[in-house]
């Protein structure tokens, strides 16, 4: 988030010598080569959790078995179905679920305040967690209305509800 990038495999190599109780890292970057090098480092000694919700399927193909992400809070059933489809070899369905995730994430990011938009969505599904902390800014009511309309158009409220998965909008 701060624009500073350095290779996590380099970090792990240094940490192995300097942080004896390190258990793993949350890997939140698009560099899947570096991710895989970290996952395999020292015979898989470290728990490397994937942190990019919108490309979870890519990480699963590399052997990822754990992830930490923001949109898992609002679309748990979608991601569970994505992983189940992947595990059962239904790659078209896994890709379809990942595409839904991508579109929701694009909508959240399109508000210019991803974290604030995420909190607003949590509110929409019944979890009022308040606003974002400074220096972040809460999004304006007009953007919230646009976000809700966009989520409805994507079939989001079917995705995050307790309704059966076949109710997810096929128009995606």
- pLDDT above 70 covers a percentage of the chain that reads 92
168: pLDDT strictly greater than 70: no
Q: Per-residue pLDDT tens for 115-131? A: 999 999 999 988 898 99
Q: What is the pLDDT of residue 171?
A: 44
The encoded tokens of residue 151 equal 């989520």
More confident residue, 11 or 3: 11
Q: Cβ distance 84 to 65 under 8 Å? A: no
- pLDDT above 90 covers a percentage of the chain that reads 82
Q: Per-residue pLDDT tens for 16-28? A: 999 999 999 999 9
Q: Cβ distance 72 to 49 under 8 Å? A: no
Q: What is the pLDDT of residue 3?
A: 79
- What is the residue-averaged pLDDT of the chain? 91
CA-nearest of 45, 109, 19, 126 to 118 is: 109
Q: What is the pLDDT of residue 1?
A: 63
Q: Cβ distance 117 to 111 under 8 Å? A: yes
Q: Rounded to the nearest 5°, which phi and psi values hold at 90? A: -90, 75
Q: Per-residue pLDDT tens for 141-167? A: 999 999 999 999 998 998 775 443 444
Q: Per-residue pLDDT tens for 31-84? A: 999 999 999 999 999 999 999 999 999 999 999 999 999 999 899 999 999 999
- Helices (H), ranges, the chain: 8-18, 32-44, 56-61, 76-87, 91-109, 114-124, 141-154, 156-159
Q: How many Cα neighbours within 13 Å face the side chain of 71?
A: 27
**Model's pTM, two decimal places?**
0.85
Rounded distance, CA 52 to CA 33, Å?
14
Helix (H, G, I), strand (E, B) or coil at 161: coil
Rounded distance, CA 133 to CA 57, Å?
31
Rounded distance, CA 36 to CA 46, Å?
12
Rounded distance, CA 142 to CA 165, Å?
30
């Amino acid at each position: 988030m701060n624009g500073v990038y350095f290779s996590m495999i380099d970090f792990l190599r240094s940490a192995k010598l300097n942080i004896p109780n390190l258990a793993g890292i949350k890997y939140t970057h698009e560099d899947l080569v570096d991710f895989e090098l970290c996952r395999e480092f020292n015979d898989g000694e470290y728990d490397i959790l994937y942190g990019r919700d919108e490309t979870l399927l890519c990480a699963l193909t590399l052997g990822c078995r754990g992830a930490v992400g923001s949109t898992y809070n609002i679309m748990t059933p979608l991601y569970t179905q994505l992983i189940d489809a992947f595990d059962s070899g239904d790659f078209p369905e896994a890709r379809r679920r990942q595409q839904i995730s991508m579109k929701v994430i694009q909508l959240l990011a399109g508000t210019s305040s991803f974290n604030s938009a995420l909190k607003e969505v949590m509110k929409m599904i019944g979890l009022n967690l308040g606003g974002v902390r400074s220096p972040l800014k809460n999004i304006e009511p007009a953007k919230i209305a646009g976000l809700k309309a966009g989520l409805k158009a994507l079939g989001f409220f079917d995705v995050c509800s307790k309704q059966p998965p076949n109710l997810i909008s096929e128009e995606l």
